[in-house]
């Protein structure tokens, strides 16, 4: 590299540090020291190795840069300013109300793929983007900037193992090893060899460098671009707060604006106004996509017995035949969730993520960045491990589809460790999520197809055992809807159910009708958003609602109904799983939890 280029890179890095200090000072908060340590790394990446067209952020040829250490957002915004994407005025709006430059990056900025800041997520999501690159047969690269503190997160090593095993050579992780975390030193400090041994064990190419030497950085990034058949990690030894004596390599300076920003700017050599033309990618072929075809959903005969998990697998395979952009990800339970039907039909679009639920969800988020339509499935109970990734997917405004099987006590003898009893509450709490719980096979098939066009995080809950098919093939079930299955003007109460409890509610209603106690039954298959109109009508006509769900009483179906009708003042009784289940048959489990037909009928009698 010519000497003048080294000089430019050093000046650019100094400008990035100055602008990180300025932005944080204008906000009165932020993480300037975490930004300053990585300034040299990002200066060389942007000037020499990144291929990105800032005028066309949606170009399929663009590289992807993910700031896993999202708290270093002042550095990212300083880079955007240097590239001419934002003005200096906008840079100084950092963290202010209404600004696009939030404390941690979000896709409100068109050059940001996903929201970051919850540490340990950038690499797993980057793995998903790299997976998409392989599927699309395009040469773009995925660059992830990580801090050393977040390497304590287990999700990082789920990602490291998957990327190494799959040989994702289009993925490079740059670790800013600045030795200091939030409250003190990191576990391994500046021992980059400790990290190198760990990544090396997972099959990564490892490069250890001085993170403040532009020449070493340039060589390492070039080496990463030329590495074949495996991902690369660059372990860069840096100093937090580099360039300002007051904070350089000092504890207690994390997450704080500098006390004397003007002095710091002077120490860094003053203001600069360098501009940088980032190399645009070469426009090549369009991303590869598989062929589309007609949608022919499976059909199930009314009166037959079919598990909704079976219908999910068959319906997703049918959707895959209709849409070449649909991909499926498994948590090593495809034989149980029935995702294996898709795997058999479309092996190229099926991804085995093994028992790594955080990476499962993160890969789905990464693949949707590139326009794929991912469905990720595992047991409902195990999705709780990935709640933070689901939460951050919503912050990213990512469109992913999650399917949780083996829900509730109805799974039977396996016992409480396998029972999803908290999943509805978890998914309902996610920003702008959609939560669906079908009761039969034809409804499941229709909803799986419906989910493909649903924006944001959507979740569908399936049942392990066979349930009666009550709906005709081909019926539509729009998101936000419900079905009134029993109704008469003489109804004295309305039972609201979803999934397996719909069949218990119908049996209870029929039993009560035989005793001259008419009650209505609503199948509330859309738990979020709910059919407020149907619930309001039931609440105002009967005045008595009984909700019954194979789920904990907190946050599930009952609370969804209460949220919709509480201002109307009806009496609402919630039947839910309140005790700790053991092992028993499915029907015994429903009875023990007091959510079976007998318990429903008794609840109606008590209420009336």
pTM of structure: 0.96
Of residues 136, 208, 357, 549, which has the active-site annotation? 357
For the beta carbon of residue 58, count every other beta carbon within 10 angstroms: 8
Average pLDDT of the chain to the nearest whole number = 97
CB atoms within 10 A of CB 432: 12
CA–CA gap between residue 310 and residue 339 (Å, rounded): 9
Alpha carbon 175 to its chain centroid, in Å, reads 23
DSSP 184: S
Residue 283 CB coordination number (10 Å): 11
Integer distance in angstroms from the first to the last C-alpha of the chain? 85
Give the pair of three-digit tokens for residue 336.
Answer: 């149980």
What is the token pair recorded at 362?
Answer: 């993160």
Predicted local confidence at residue 4, as pLDDT: 57
Residue 589 has pLDDT above 70, yes or no: yes
H or E segment at 85? none
Pull the structure tokens for residue 5.
């280029």
- State the average pLDDT over residues 84-101: 98
Q: Is the pLDDT of residue 439 over 70?
A: yes
| % of the chain exceeding 70 in pLDDT | 99
Whether 519 contacts 506, CB under 8 Å: no
Within 10 Å of residue 416's Cβ, how many Cβ atoms? 15
User: For the chain, which domains are there?
Assistant: 3-267 (3.40.50.970), 305-468 (3.40.50.970), 483-607 (3.40.50.920)
For range 419-445, the mean pLDDT: 98
For residue 421, pLDDT over 70 is answered with: yes
Summarize the confidence of residues 420-431 as an average pLDDT.
98
**pLDDT tens digit string along 381-406?**
999 999 999 999 999 999 999 999 99
pLDDT of residue 283 exceeding 90: no
Would the pLDDT of 3 be above 60? no
41: which 2 tokens? 């790394």
* Longest distance between any two alpha carbons in the chain, whole Å: 94
Distances (CA, A) of 404 to 104, 424, 446, 595: 30, 10, 17, 21
User: How many Cβ atoms from other residues are within 10 Å of residue 380's Cβ?
Assistant: 31
Query: What single DSSP character describes residue 417?
Result: G
Which helix (H) or strand (E) segment holds residue 235: the answer is strand 232-237
Rg of the Cα trace of the chain?
27
Mean pLDDT value of segment 247-264: 94
Cβ-defined contacts of 215-224 (< 8 Å, 24+): 215/1, 215/6, 217/40, 217/41, 217/44, 217/45, 218/1, 218/9, 218/44, 218/48, 218/49, 221/44, 221/45, 221/48, 221/49, 221/172, 222/48, 222/49, 224/172
Tokens 């005790």 belong to: 579
Mean pLDDT of 158-167: 98
What pLDDT score does 255 carry? Answer: 92
* DSSP symbol at 202: T
Is the pLDDT at 177 greater than 70? The verdict is: yes
User: What is the predicted pLDDT for the residue at 608?
Assistant: 87
Asked if residue 321 has pLDDT above 70, the reply is: yes
Angle between helix 73-82 and helix 3-27 axes, rounded to 10 deg:
120
Any bridge partners for residue 329, and if so which? 351, 376
Closest CA to 592 of 605, 603, 606, 578: 578
451 vs 203, 318, 394, 455, CA distance in Å? Answer: 37, 14, 16, 8
Tell me the pLDDT band of 420, cut-offs 50, 70 and 90.
very high
Arithmetic mean of pLDDT, 160-184: 97
Q: Is the pLDDT of residue 603 over 80?
A: yes
161 is catalytic: no
Distance, CA of 238 to CA of 40 (rounded, Å): 9
d(CA 189, CA 213): 19
Q: What is the pLDDT of residues 494-548, one digit of tens each?
A: 999 999 999 999 999 999 999 999 999 999 999 999 999 999 999 999 999 999 9
């Amino acid at each position: 590299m010519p000497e003048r280029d080294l000089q430019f890179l050093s000046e650019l890095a100094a400008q990035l540090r100055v602008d990180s200090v300025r932005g944080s000072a204008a906000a009165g908060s932020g993480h300037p020291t975490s930004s300053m340590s990585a300034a040299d790394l990002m200066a060389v990446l942007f000037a020499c190795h990144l291929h990105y067209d800032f005028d066309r952020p949606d170009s399929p040829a663009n590289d992807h840069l993910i700031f896993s250490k999202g708290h270093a957002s002042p550095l990212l915004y300083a880079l955007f300013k240097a590239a001419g994407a934002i003005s200096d005025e906008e840079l100084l709006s950092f963290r202010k109300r209404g600004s696009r430059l939030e404390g941690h990056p979000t896709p409100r900025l068109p050059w940001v793929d996903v929201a970051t800041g919850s540490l340990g997520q950038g690499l797993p999501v980057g793995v998903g983007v790299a997976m998409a690159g392989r599927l699309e047969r395009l040469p773009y690269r995925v660059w992830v900037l990580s801090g050393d503190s977040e390497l304590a997160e287990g999700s990082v090593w789920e990602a490291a193992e998957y990327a190494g095993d799959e040989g994702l050579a289009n993925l490079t992780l740059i670790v800013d090893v600045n030795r200091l975390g939030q409250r003190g030193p990191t576990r391994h400090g500046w021992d980059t060899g400790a990290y190198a041994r760990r990544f090396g064990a997972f099959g990564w190419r490892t490069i250890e460098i001085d993170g403040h030497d532009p020449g070493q950085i340039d060589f390492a990034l070039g080496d990463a671009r030329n590495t074949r058949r495996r991902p690369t990690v660059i372990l860069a030894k840096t100093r937090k707060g580099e360039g300002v004596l007051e904070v350089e390599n000092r504890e207690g300076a994390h997450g704080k604006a500098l006390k004397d920003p003007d002095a710091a700017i002077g120490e860094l050599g003053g203001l600069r106004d360098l501009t940088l033309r980032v190399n645009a990618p070469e426009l090549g072929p369009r991303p590869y996509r598989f062929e589309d075809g007609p949608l022919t959903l499976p059909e199930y005969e009314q009166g037959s017995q079919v598990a909704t998990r079976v219908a999910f697998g068959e319906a997703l395979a049918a959707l895959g035949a209709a849409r070449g952009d649909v991909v499926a990800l498994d948590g090593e339970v495809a034989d149980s969730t029935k995702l294996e039907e898709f795997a058999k039909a479309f092996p190229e679009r099926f991804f085995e993520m093994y028992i790594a639920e955080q990476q499962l969800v993160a890969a789905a988020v990464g693949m949707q960045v590139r326009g794929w339509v991912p469905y990720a499935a595992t047991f409902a109970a195990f999705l709780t491990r990935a709640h933070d990734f689901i939460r951050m997917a919503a912050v990213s405004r990512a469109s992913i589809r999650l399917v949780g099987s083996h829900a509730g006590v109805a799974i039977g003898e396996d016992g409480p460790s396998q029972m999803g009893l908290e999943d509805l509450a978890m998914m309902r709490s996610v920003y702008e999520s959609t939560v669906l719980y079908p009761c039969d096979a034809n409804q499941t098939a229709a909803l799986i197809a419906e989910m493909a066009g649903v924006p944001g995080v959507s979740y569908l809950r399936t049942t392990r055992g066979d349930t009666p098919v009550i709906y005709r093939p081909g019926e539509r079930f729009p998101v936000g809807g419900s079905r009134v299955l029993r109704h008469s003007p003489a109804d004295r109460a309305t039972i609201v159910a979803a999934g397996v409890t719909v069949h218990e509610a119908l049996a209870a209603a029929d039993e009560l009708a035989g005793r001259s106690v008419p009650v209505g039954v609503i199948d509330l298959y859309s738990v979020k958003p709910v059919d407020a109109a149907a619930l309001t009508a039931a609440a105002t006509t009967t005045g008595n609602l009984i909700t019954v769900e194979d789920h904990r009483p907190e946050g599930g179906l009952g609370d969804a109904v209460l949220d919709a009708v509480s201002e109307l003042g009806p009496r609402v009784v919630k039947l839910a799983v309140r005790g700790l289940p053991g092992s028993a048959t499915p029907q015994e489990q429903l009875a023990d939890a007091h959510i079976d037909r007998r318990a429903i009928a008794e609840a109606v009698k008590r209420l009336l």
